[in-house]
Structure 1
Amino acid sequence: MNWKGRTVFITGASSGIGEGLAIALATRGAIIGLAARRREILDDLADRCRAAGGTARVFPLDVIDEQAVFEAADDLRSEFGRIDILIANAGIGGNDEATRNYTPRSVKKVIDTNLLGAVNAVHAVLPGMLEQGEGHLVAISSLAGFRGLPKSAAYSASKAGMTAFFESVRLDVRHKGIDVTIIQPGFIKTPLTSGRANKMPFLMELEDAIPHFIRAIEKKKRFAAFPWQLATIVRAGKFMPAWMYDRIAGKARYRE
């Protein structure tokens, strides 16, 4: 796949997976719209993207702000003529006491960011893609969305919703020139997973994980899940009876 000159809009671009993808695509010559909340970090990332050979624009915003996301996409499209790929990556873990206690405001924040933030991004870019007759929507979901996990109610719900939303969109646009890829990674060493006392199974280094994301996008896969060992276990859990799943999954301590 030739990335040179392709315009990519990445939400949650300031760190972790978003940052890694931005640098990787910049080295391939892509035009990248970097969206996240922290301007100073975005400015630094944009400089690194340009040094790597790409073109970068920064859009300091919170993805829960529908109008801000729409205006950012519109500005990017106005400058470069089109948006070829959306990577809906913005997300928070909600790994705190308030969220674990199901405090509505805290749970809402996770769902607003992870799910509705992605909805806002799709709403901002999809009309233009339909008008140009082609485009690619990429959802960075999670293996945590397959079934509920301990101390992860808000996060698992947001990722399950994200997966279902993008799959539904795929069915709606599959004959309109729009590809939809849902990527479900396991544990990746990023700020989102830092500070946990217990070992996370099959934890991947970010630099090892990024090629998996790139490959899934380039091949326009409908679904991609990795690492394969954890993905296999999680998929098997989907078919377990509730009593068996509760016994096995209930022992998980990796959110602590």
Structure 2
Amino acid sequence: MKIGTEGQTGSLGTESQMREPCPNIERRPRSRRTGIAAREPVAVVTGASSGIGRALALELACRGYQVGLVARRRKALEDLACEIETRGGRAQVAAADVGDRQALHAAIQQIECALGPVDVIVANAGLGTPTRLAPLNVADVEDTFRVNVLGVVYTIEAVLPGMLDRGWGQLVAVSSMASFKGLPGESAYCASKAAVNLYMEGLRIALRNRGIAVTTICPGFVATAITPMDAAAAPFEITALAAARRIARAIEQRKSGLIRFPWPMAMLMALICRLPDSLVAQLVGHDEGRSQPSDAPSR
């Protein structure tokens, strides 16, 4: 049972859901800080080619942000940028794998040269690969941690020095409710998301008086192209658009801390965390890598 993530859980809903956000871009700056208000704020979203990342990029553009788009699939990013610009917004494409530190830093530098300093970074790209036992798929585990953990670290590293110099910014990482419990068949995925939670928590405490908000997003099942349509396999599933709007509100309100949604899934996960292992296995299934979390491979 893989829960929420990045471009990340469920089946992607319909194309109309993904393209619904707004008919025309609202051209207004959202930053409250003097100086930044003179320009439209810049938000960069990794994993923007599909799922939550794509929906969030559209939603932020609707709310007046210039949007930097990062993912591996350039064509998908160019199509998204064209859609944003057709509606009157501004977007900059930079293709890169978040697990490649040098390439990612070059991509974000390219975006800053085109749009200006980054005010909000959303480390959304992620990978969901089942953890198998016989044999243990170590290469997949390594790739999961490279993308889901180091990808977040590299993304933040690219913009944090500038934010510290300006005394302003927001760091956002898309984690998952699967981060709260090690689930059978999803050990690496759950562990990688738990690492993201603690990494962001440490940053939040360290940056509490530096003008930088640190936000960790933990969605449940989000409808994307790779998740099962079976409601029993993805309880309380929400659309990518609904998830994007929740995240965009948290960004506009500069919320620091850990944000979980939808609340019924948060309650269910809290219950699962208190159950004995035997019941967890029965509830979520114990087959190796049987389930997928939120819109997984969206790098």
**TM-score normalized with structure 2 length:** 0.78
| Counterpart pick for 2:259 among 216, 224, 235 | 224
Partner of 1:208: 242
Matched residue count: 251
CA distance in structure 1 between the aligned counterparts of 2:218 and 2:136, rounded to whole angstroms:
24
| Counterpart pick for 2:86 among 51, 59, 80 | 51
The one-letter amino acid of 2:237's match is L
5 Å-filtered alignment, 1:33-48, equals 33-48=68-83
CA distance in structure 2 between the aligned counterparts of 1:236 and 1:15, rounded to whole angstroms:
31
Q: CA deviation at 1:132?
A: 1.0
Partner of 2:220: 186
Q: CA deviation at 1:157?
A: 0.7
Any idea what SS the aligned residue of 2:121 has?
Answer: strand
| Counterpart pick for 2:199 among 147, 153, 165 | 165
Structure-2 change in CA distance of 1:169 and 1:99 (3 Å): farther
Q: CA deviation at 1:232?
A: 1.6
Of Structure 1 and Structure 2, which has the larger fraction of its residues in helix? 1
Instruction: Give me the identity figure in percent.
Output: 39
| Counterpart pick for 1:14 among 49, 59, 68 | 49
Partner of 1:250: 281
Maintained 8 Å contact 2:40/2:65:
yes
Partner of 2:18: none
The one-letter amino acid of 1:107's match is V
RMSD of Structure 2 on Structure 1 (CA)? 2.2
CA distance in structure 2 between the aligned counterparts of 1:181 and 1:2, rounded to whole angstroms:
20
| Counterpart pick for 2:101 among 47, 55, 66 | 66
Structure 1 segments unaligned to the other structure (5+ residues): none
Relative contact order: is structure 1 or structure 2 higher (C-alpha 8 Å, sep ≥ 6)? Answer: 2
The one-letter amino acid of 2:153's match is V
Structure-2 change in CA distance of 1:151 and 1:135 (3 Å): same
CA distance in structure 1 between the aligned counterparts of 2:201 and 2:276, rounded to whole angstroms:
25
Partner of 1:87: 122
Q: CA deviation at 1:69?
A: 1.2
Structure-2 change in CA distance of 1:103 and 1:86 (3 Å): same
CA distance in structure 1 between the aligned counterparts of 2:249 and 2:99, rounded to whole angstroms:
29
Structure-2 change in CA distance of 1:117 and 1:227 (3 Å): same
